[in-house]
Amino acid sequence: MTKKILNIDSREFEEKYGISSPAAKLICAAGLNDEQISDLLSHDMEILTSQSECVRKCCEILMECRKNHTKVFVGGDYDADGITSTAIMKDILDRLGIENGYYIPDRFKEGYGLKPETVELAVRKGYGLIITVDNGVSAFDAIEKCHELGVPVIVTDHHRIEQEVKADLVVHPDYMEEEFAYLSGAGVALQISRTLLGEVDRHTALCAIALLGDVMPLWRQTRRIVRKGLDLLNQGVLPSVTAMLYNGSYVTRTSVAFQIVPKLNSVGRMNDMSNVNTLVPFLLSTDQQQIDNYARQLDNVNQVRKNLSAVMTRQCEDMLDDSLMPILYRDDFHEGICGLAAGKIANKEHRPVLVMAKSNDMIKGSGRSVPGFDMFEFFSDFEELESFGGHEQAVGLSVSEGSFDSFRRHVQDKMAAAGFEFREQEETAIRIGSDDMTLENVLDVEALEPLPKELGDALFAIEDLVVRDIYESPKITRYHFLNQSGGFDGLLFASVSPAVSQPRCIFGRLSVNRWKTNVIPQVEITDLL
């Protein structure tokens, strides 16, 4: 990836908004509008509650269930958003004293969303209301089964509504105020919680994890929920989440994305050695012994997932050919790891990739794309597909064994006709001076967290470097650079780049190294020259 260093005159922004040069340069480079800048610089963490009719009516129905002792069934989903949504909704019902049950489907045996078979089983067990979380807007067969069996169904979801959803009620950001446009499934559940129960800290914290896990746009109420949720997580409101972090970790957007969300998602991916439904009581537990035991099991599942992913990725690399969209298939590939392997290959090869595995008489898999290529649009007219879903950069699909050869030819023919050529992305970094690396300035940049995608990777380039000393270990190199304010650290992982004794320029993200009583500005180095 080529690099471009941006020289930005930020004096106007510094004066107008009273912020330091690095923060002003970052905002200036993003080209934000006045509303976004105001949102970004606001320290207000007060979360609003939707007054929309759909939220209000949902709460009225749940209170009727409480009054009439109606059992409520919660239909969840197997990713981080779906798991936390299920936990929030179950906790709402528990707090209201409503008898309830929940079920998150098996990712591979049952697939995504509420199924007619689940509806039939729920009705047989005496449930008088079904409510979905983080799914439902495409569960047409299951909703029809609800009507057939005479059980009311509420859909709470945030996915795009493609056609009319004939549920008794749909609770969705599309039907709420603009402030709530960027809610995930857990965000919708949180609005129901806030209306019925007021402020429940653990629900806000769970929702923050979901919003980051689903990579929702970090603006408006979504931004406030994430900021408040991260603050609550650092206060320890969810002992289960604390147990998933590396010892002593400060909870940030990054630690949620790289420590918590992958562990939650790993359980759904590794269904042959774990049950995603067990995550709900774990997340809500306050029993420390139970939490510690489960967290160890969760670490084990995640480690197996990581090892399997590394092996599968190497096998995929060995199978690569010069096709425009490689289709990498083996009978013994693990279905739950296909997307992870495809993502790594696509990033390395700079071309869209499909990784597929055998599943009974079907061949199922995941595709990952590259910037500039809409994979969802590409596959939208393939008649060979038995199932298909996703978005521009990621798809999931399945093909019958008998159609697989035809499917492979179709993919390559269409790719050849499309004439797709990957254009290498240019990575930009904002030039700042070594003397800009003060604790005050770095805290100013940190205050912009969580960073919306419009701010990119928030990379800075520093060239006027004076090395005082270097600490090296097998995994990391820590530089200490001198400047007028006393100096700052540079942290370089061996997996990123080899160390050099006197770098001419470092590229990286600004952060604060908090260790015991020491607070030091630092650069997390992504590259150096």
Position 518 scores a pLDDT of 82
Q: Which CATH class is domain 325-418?
A: alpha beta
Query: Position 275: which residue type?
Result: N
Distance CA 448, CA 509 (A): 13
Position 346 scores a pLDDT of 93
- Helix, strand, or coil here: 396? strand
Strands 518-528 and 488-493: parallel
Position 457 scores a pLDDT of 86
Position 10 scores a pLDDT of 94
Range list of β-strands (E), 310-361:
327-330, 353-359
Range list of β-strands (E), 360-400:
362-368, 385-391, 394-400
CA of residue 414 relative to chain centroid, distance: 31
Q: ω before 22 within 30° of 0 (cis)? A: no
Strands 506-515 and 488-493: unpaired
- Please choose, from the candidates 125, 126, 118, the residue with its C-alpha nearest in 3D space to the C-alpha of residue 146: 118
Residue 5, beta-bridge partner list? 429
pLDDT tens digits, the chain, 529 residues: what are they?
Answer: 678 999 999 999 999 999 999 999 999 999 999 999 999 999 888 999 999 999 999 999 999 999 999 999 999 999 999 999 999 999 999 999 999 999 999 888 888 889 999 999 999 999 999 999 999 998 999 999 999 999 999 999 998 888 899 999 999 999 999 999 999 999 999 999 999 999 999 999 999 999 999 989 999 999 999 999 999 999 999 999 999 998 767 899 989 998 999 999 999 888 778 899 999 999 999 999 999 999 999 999 999 999 999 999 999 999 999 899 999 999 999 998 999 999 999 988 889 999 999 988 899 999 999 888 999 899 989 999 998 887 788 888 999 999 999 999 999 999 999 888 777 677 899 999 999 999 999 999 999 999 998 888 899 999 999 999 999 999 999 999 999 999 999 999 988 888 899 999 999 999 998 777 788 999 999 999 9
Position 250 scores a pLDDT of 82
Distance CA 315, CA 357 (A): 13
Q: Which CATH class is domain 2-42+427-528?
A: mainly beta
Position 273 scores a pLDDT of 83
Residue 481: which residues within 8 A CB-CB, separation 6 or more?
Answer: 434, 437, 465, 466, 467, 468, 487, 488, 489, 490
Alpha carbons within 13 angstroms on the beta-carbon side of residue 51 total 0
Q: pLDDT per residue over 471-516, tens digit each?
A: 999 999 999 999 999 999 999 998 888 889 999 999 999 999 877 7
Query: Position 246: which residue type?
Result: Y
102 C-beta neighbours (distance < 10 Å), count: 18
Helix-then-strand count for the chain, H and E: 19, 18
Task: For the sheet with 426-431, list strands across it.
Answer: 2-6, 426-431, 460-462, 506-515, 518-528, 488-493, 476-481, 467-472
Strands 353-359 and 362-368: antiparallel
Q: Where are the alpha helices (DSSP H) in 42-175?
A: 53-68, 80-96, 116-124, 140-149
Distance CA 196, CA 191 (A): 9
Instruction: Yes or no: say if 74 and 98 are a contact pair by the CB < 8 Å rule.
Output: no
Q: Where are the alpha helices (DSSP H) in 235-277?
A: 239-244, 253-255, 261-269
Distance CA 65, CA 98 (A): 7
Per CATH, which fold does 53-227 belong to? inorganic pyrophosphatase (n-terminal core) (3.90.1640)
Instruction: Yes or no: say if 479 and 490 are a contact pair by the CB < 8 Å rule.
Output: yes
- Helix, strand, or coil here: 13? helix
Residue 138: which residues within 8 A CB-CB, separation 6 or more?
Answer: 113, 159, 162
- Residue linked to tokens 């006393």: 486
Position 439 scores a pLDDT of 96
Fold identical between 2-42+427-528 and 53-227?
no
- The domain limits of the chain are 2-42+427-528, 53-227, 325-418
Alpha carbons within 13 angstroms on the beta-carbon side of residue 81 total 22
